[in-house]
Structure 1
Amino acid sequence: MVRDREQTTRQVQQLLEKDRTCPNEACPDFGKTKTGNIIKYGHTDGGRQRYLCRTCGKTFTATRR
């Protein structure tokens, strides 16, 4: 039961990551989704997931919508 919940959580996170966009307005991929340019890039000291845009090199954390 716990394993199923963990797998479902991972699947949801993967789907959400595909919709992430670069927040840098100067980036050629700004506002574009599903380009594969956003990757996980460690965690902050507070434990929040960090992301990296492979196009422009900007790092950022996700914010709740």
Structure 2
Amino acid sequence: MSKRKTIDLEQGWDFMQKGITKLKNILEGLPEPQFSSEDYMMLYTTIYNMCTQKPPNDYS
């Protein structure tokens, strides 16, 4: 079993903000390309990993 790299709050939050902004633009009908399956899985995995890291890096 390989050890996952710890994602710090600033790095993870920046990535999540980009995904949230993209989703808001799509929902508001602004010109924005749809999420690719790869983009969606990267966003989901980042959020999951941040929420399941060991303390003090557990951001759930």
Give the alignment's TM-score, normalised by structure 2.
0.34
If asked which structure has higher relative contact order (CA below 8 Å, sep 6+), I would say 2
Higher helix share goes to which structure? 2
Give the alignment's TM-score, normalised by structure 1.
0.32
Higher strand share goes to which structure? 1
